[in-house]
Each structure stands twice: as C-alpha cells, then as structure tokens.
Structure 1
Amino acid sequence: MDPTLYNSILLVAAIFFAGAFLLTMWAILIGPNSLDRLLGLDGLVAMIQCMLATYICWTLDTTVSNAMLVVALLGFISTVSVARFRKRDGS
C-alpha cells in the first residue's frame, strides 16, 4: 500500500477520534445522571484503546500494547465498582 494513502487514512481516523473524544467529554460533563456519565466514561475508555491501536498502526511500535491492557482492566474495574456501589440519583 502506498505510504501516503496509508497515512492519510490514519489521519482521517485520528480526526474522527478527536471529534468523538470531544463529544464524549461533552456527554460526560452534561449527562443528567450518574449512569449517563458512566456510559460516557465507558465510551471514553474504549476510544482510548482504539486511539492506542491506531497509534500502533501508525508507528508500528507495539510497546504501548501494555498500556492498552492496563486501560482495559481499569475501565472494567471502574465500571463494575461504580455499578455495584451506585445509589440512585437524588437519594
């Protein structure tokens, strides 16, 4: 594959990730209740993993794969802990 085309495709993906990141942050800040914010945080964790995967594709450097694993585990643990100990909003 032509390197210019490959870099262009990855640049478009990076731009989409940046836009999705801003929209997700907006949803986290504005979310009417804690479950909406938790859902936004889950989306943010998944997006960070995808951004790291795009970085791996762009640079062909797999050293950040450990960071992807840590982000996935922290995202899972945070979601389970918030869902387990959450009280209803307004209570």
Structure 2
Amino acid sequence: MTVVVIVAGILLTAAALITSYRILAGPSTLDRVVGIDSLMAIAASGLAVWASYSEDTTLLPAIIALALVGFLGSAAVTRFRVSDDR
C-alpha cells in the first residue's frame, strides 16, 4: 500500500508541475482555465490518495467541495469569457 501511495504522489506531483507550466505559459484564457480546472482535479485526487492512505473519511467533504468549485468555476468562465482577439 505504501508503494502505491508513493507512486501516486510522484505522478500527481509531476502532473501538477506540468499543469502549472500550462497555466503560466498558456497562450489563451481558455488554456489557463483548463489548467486551473486540471489543477483542482489533481488536488482533489491528492486528497483522495491521502484519505485512503490515512483511512480518514473526514476529507470527503473537502474533495467534493473542490470538485464542485472546479466545475462551477470553469463553467462560469467559459460562459462569460471575453474573446482574446481584440
């Protein structure tokens, strides 16, 4: 179990670094929104890995809240976004 948690942590860290690069270097607003939404999903996945490792179920509301905020935030930005071409 510990090996799985370590491998998952390494892969989630690598995914967070790649996603952070996309957020910083994204040429358009939608690239940055997708990057932030992906970073929220990575954070929720990291919390889920930690909750399964520590056998602590009190993190479940935080995981659900992160998923909802990520979805609603990206949906709101894509609904009301202004075009990058001016």
TM-score, structure 2 as length reference:
0.94
Equivalent-residue separation in structure 2 for 1:84 and 1:9 (angstroms) = 39
Higher relative contact order (CA 8 A, sep 6+): 2
The counterpart of 2:8, out of the listed 13, 18, 38, is 13
Unaligned runs of at least 5 residues, structure 1: 1-5
- Which residue in 2 is equivalent to 1:32? 27
TM-score, structure 1 as length reference:
0.89
- Which residue in 2 is equivalent to 1:72? 67
C-alpha RMSD of matched pairs (Å): 0.9
The counterpart of 1:57, out of the listed 34, 40, 52, is 52
% identical equivalent positions: 37
Structure number with greater Rg is: 1
Aligned length: 86
Q: Displaced runs of 4+ in structure 1, greater than 2 A?
A: none
